Amino acid sequence: MVLKLYGLPTSPCTTRVLACLHEKGLDYEFVPINLLGGEQKKPAFLEKNVSLITLTFFVSNFDLIFSFILQPFGKVPVLEDGDLTLFGTAITGYIAEKFKDTGFDLIRYGDYKEAALVRVWLEVEAQQYNPAIQPIVYQCVVMPRLGKPSDQKIIDESVEKLGKVLDVYEGRLEKSKYLAGDHFTLADLHHLSYTFNVMKTPYASLFTSRPYVKASWEDISSRPAFVKVCENIK
C-alpha cells in the first residue's frame, strides 16, 4: 500500500517529510489540504477523526504555507500507512525505521554509536535549535506577508539564542562532517526546512559567518532529495 501524506508542499513541516521520502526513494500519494477553502471541514477529511484546533500561518515568498495543530496532540503533515496514522516528527522516524533497507540510510542502522548520536542531535534540534529559529522565521517571513509589523525585540532575542546554539554546532561540525558522524542522517535532514527560510532573511549571516556551519548547510541543502522538494517552494 502506498504511503499517503496530507499537508502542503511549502510548509516547513511537510517539507521535512517530503525530503525524507525522497531520500528513501519511496512512492507516495500527496494529498494537499486547502484550509482556506474549508477542505478540512468536508466529510472526507472529518471521517479520519481529525479535528482542527489551531491554525498557524507561515509565508514563504509568494506562497502561503502553514502548519496546523490537529486533535489530539499532533501536527500536520499527517501520514497514513494502511491503518496507521502518524503526525509530527514521528513521521520521519517511522519512515527511516520501516524503510531502513531502502534508499539512503538515515538512522545509521547497524552502527549503534552513530545511531545514538542521530537521536542526540534530533533532541538538540527539537529542544534548542527549533525554539530559537522558529520565531525568526515567523517574524521575518510570516508577519510581513500577513501585512503586520515584525517584532524586532523577538527577532533580536531569538537571533542571540540561535547564535549561541550555532556556536555549539560550529564546534561539532569542525570535528565531524555531519552532526552524527561521517554520514548524512535524519539529524541533518531535520534542520533543512527552517534553515532554508532563514537563509532568505537578513539573518542568513548567522550561518554564513560560521565556516563549518556554512559548509554543512551548503552540503546538505544541495542534496538531490531536498533540491527536488525545493522545486515547489517559490
Kindly state whether residue 21 falls inside one of the protein's structural domains.
Answer: yes
Residues 151 and 77 in one domain: no
Whether 229 is covered by a domain: the verdict is no
Task: Give 151-195 pLDDT, tens digit per residue.
Answer: 999 999 999 999 999 999 999 999 999 999 999 999 999 999 999
Q: Which domain holds residue 189?
A: 112-223
Task: Tell me the C-alpha distance between 77 and 15, whole Å.
Answer: 9
Residue 53, pLDDT > 50, answer no
Evaluate whether 58 touches 12 at the Cβ level (below 8 Å). yes
- Nearest residue to 199 via CA among 224, 217, 223, 216: 217
pTM of the prediction? Answer: 0.84
Could you read off the pLDDT of 114-125 as tens digits, one per residue? Answer: 999 999 999 999
Identify whether residues 116 and 94 lie together within a single domain: no
In a domain, 107, yes or no: no
83 in a structural domain: yes
Q: Mark which of 68, 98, 128 sits at the end of a domain.
A: 98
Q: What is the largest CA-CA distance in the chain?
A: 53
94 and 116 share one domain: no
How many other C-beta atoms lie within 10 A of the C-beta of residue 62?
8
Q: Cβ(232)–Cβ(15) under 8 Å?
A: no
